[in-house]
Amino acid sequence: MDAEDAKVFITAYKPNGTTIQVYSKILNFTDGSAFEDKDWTLMEQVTSSSVFSDSLNEEDYREYEYTFSKTPPSTLLSGVATTYSNTTVTGVDTTFTTTVAAGDLIKIVKSNTLTDYDLLPVVSVANNTTLTVTSNTSFTGTGNNIELVTQKNAAFKYTRNNYVVRYHDSNNAAFDTYKYMAVKIVLLSPYNYLVPALNDVRVLAVSV
């Protein structure tokens, strides 16, 4: 049974001012790509960002939980979009010819950038206000924000697929669930006298 989500738990000494980042890469069983070529995805910290260890006590270990984000990394584009039940996206005050290209992934955001969006590969850009995507948009309306996905191959929990983890390959083919997973942890500090440390790591592949 393939996994649909992941939870990473670490017990760590993390004094205020330091950072612990957790990255993962996954591979679907039907994806013929090499696992080592997959993108590392920065996972989201579930534990409150205000939880820190006592900087004077190196044995003050705290537990932190991480999981996949609900969206791939993206940046907001200028203007807004009108979408119909077809493959055409019509923009108002947009600059598609300079900000979007064929092969890009875009988000059409209806109300919430984390939970209410359509994620679509771009087929072609006709001009500054018209572009074509690969499939019909799942909702219609005017005034929708447009975001350009900045890490196309990142893994994320897709809201329109019951938050099952999804990623895209280099050809923009979508894969849901995964069979293989790797995790790496990066310890960061602006100080050479105060650095975070790990005590243990637990990785759980789970269903939603």
CA–CA dist 116, 105 (Å, integer): 16
- What 8-state DSSP symbol labels residue 98? H
- CA dihedral 110→116→119→123, nearest 10 degrees, is -20
CB 116 within 8 A of CB 110: yes
Any idea where the domains of the chain sit in the sequence? 5-70+158-206, 74-150
The confidence score (pLDDT) of residue 153 equals: 97
The confidence score (pLDDT) of residue 137 equals: 85
Instruction: Tell which residue, 37, 140, 130, 120, has the closest CA to residue 88.
Output: 130
CB 20 within 8 A of CB 4: no
The confidence score (pLDDT) of residue 183 equals: 98
Sheet holding 180-188, edge to edge: 41-42, 19-27, 180-188
**Residue 57 CB-density burial (10 A; 0-12 exposed, 13-18 middle, 19+ buried):** exposed
What is the per-residue pLDDT across 29-85, written as a single tens digit (0 to 9) for each? 999 999 999 999 999 999 999 999 999 999 999 999 999 999 999 999 999 999 988
Cα of first residue to Cα of last residue in the chain, in angstroms, is: 13
Q: Which residues of the chain have pLDDT under 70?
A: none
pTM for the model stands at: 0.93
The confidence score (pLDDT) of residue 141 equals: 87
CB 88 within 8 A of CB 130: yes
The confidence score (pLDDT) of residue 46 equals: 98
